[in-house]
Amino acid sequence: MTFWILAPVMVAAALGILFVRKAVHAALLLAVVMTSLAVLYAVLEAPFLFAVQIIVYTGAILMLFLFVLMLVGVDASDSVVETIRGQRVLAALGGLLLGALLVVALSQVSLGTAVGLESANEGGNIQQLANILFSRYVFAFEATSALLITAAIGAMVLAHRERLTPKEGQAALAARRMRDYAETGKHPGPLPAPGVYARHNAVDTPALLPDGTASELSVNRVLAARGTVRSAPALADDIDEVRKQLGVDPTEMPERSGKSSAPATTTEDVK
């Protein structure tokens, strides 16, 4: 019963991985498939694998995927145009053929009634697994430990970046900032914080400058690139509304003077 509920979900989620454009969504759909698999493991009398599937796969590996996605940039989404001629058609054709072949082949064999794992799991699934793992498969187990260490070292080596110049000290940093200010007029202080002088304190809301315009420097570049920056003056509209209801004349408010130069509408989440 569980199978028939989960199987369509899994197939749908897997197909989703093929079609969604954003990598994050694909990762989440994969999480669905993996969790469902974990449940199927439980049904198939593999409680240890059930736990490992959730902890290692869904917990560790998928999180690693998401982490890398964050580093690479969430905006990295596939374009719809296929660059290699005929690749999609051939891939679909090959996939269908492979699936059909496998299904046809499997339908040709009759597996008969399952033996079940009652006797094999006697004394507990984990204990029995451990028995096998540390007796018959002990060499393979040791080999995997070597493999894991190698992988860890390899990842470290790959991710490591050699520092080519000496680390800049605080004094040098300050001197450089002052020099930049003298030569290009770049502001020597820290970047303005978002939400300051605004009527909103969210990170995607730019700070307002004294003349009422929005400071682009106060918002993260990634947010600007994604186009999810809110318009601070637009958010002020409802405050004006409240003031009006309170009987305060909004035209007397000094912060309104720069409103015209700021984005008038909220431009949230434009894909």
Partner 1 sequence: MDHVTIPVVDPGSAEGVLSLLWLVIALPLAGAAVLLVGGPLAGARAKGAMDRWGPWLACTAVGWSFLLSLAMFFALLGHDAEERQVGQHLFTWFEAGSLHVGMDLLYDQLSALFLLLITGVGFLIHVYSVGYMAHDARRLRFFGYLNLFVAAMLVLVLSANFLGLFLGWEGVGLASYLLIGFWQHKHSAAAAAKKAFVINRVGDIGLSLAVAVMFATFGTTDFTTISAVAGEASQGTLNALGLLLLLAACGKSAQVPLQAWLLDAMEGPTPVSALIHAATMVTAGVYLITRSNFIYEHTPLAQTAVVVVATVTLLWGAILGCAKDDIKKALAGSTMSQIGYMMLAAGLGPAGYPFAIFHLLTHGFFKANMFLGAGSVMHGMDDDVDMRHYGALRTYMPVTFLTFAMGYLAIIGFPLFSGFWSKDKIIETALAENTVVGLCALLGAGITGFYMTRLMLMTFFGDKRWEPGVHPHESPQVMTIPLIVLAALSVLGGVMIIGSWIVGWLEPVTGHAVHPEPPIAPILVTLLVVAVVAVGVAAAWFLIGRRDIPREAPAEVSFATRAARSDLYGDAINDVLVVQPGMGLARGLTTFDRAGVDGVVEGGSAAVGGISGTLRRVQNGFVRSYALSLLGGALLVVLALLAVNLG
Partner 2 sequence: MTQYVVLSAILFTIGCVGVLTRRNAIVVFMCVELMLNACNLAFVAFAKQHGNLDGQVAAFFVMVVAAAEVVVGLAIIMTIFRTRRSASVDDASLLKY
Residues in touch with partner 1 (CB under 8 A): 83-84, 87, 90-91, 94-95, 97-98, 101-102, 104-105, 108
Question: Binds 213, which of partner 2, partner 1, none (CB < 5 to 8 A, cut-off by type)?
Answer: none
Nearest-angstrom CA–CA distance, 69 and 73: 6
CA distances 112 to 100, 116, 119, Å, are 22, 12, 18
Question: Binds 150, which of partner 2, partner 1, none (CB < 5 to 8 A, cut-off by type)?
Answer: partner 2
Q: Which of residues 154-193 bind partner 2 (CB under 8 A)?
A: 154-155, 158-159, 161
Task: Assess 138 for contact with partner 2 (CB under 8 A).
Answer: no
Q: How far is the CB of 90 from partner 1 (least distance, A)?
A: 6
| CB of 107 or CB of 265, closer to partner 2 | 107
| CB of 104 or CB of 246, closer to partner 2 | 104
Q: Which of residues 34-73 bind partner 2 (CB under 8 A)?
A: 34, 37, 40-41, 44-46, 48-49, 52-53, 56-57, 60-61, 64-65, 68-69, 71-72
Q: How far is the CB of 224 from partner 2 (least distance, A)?
A: 18
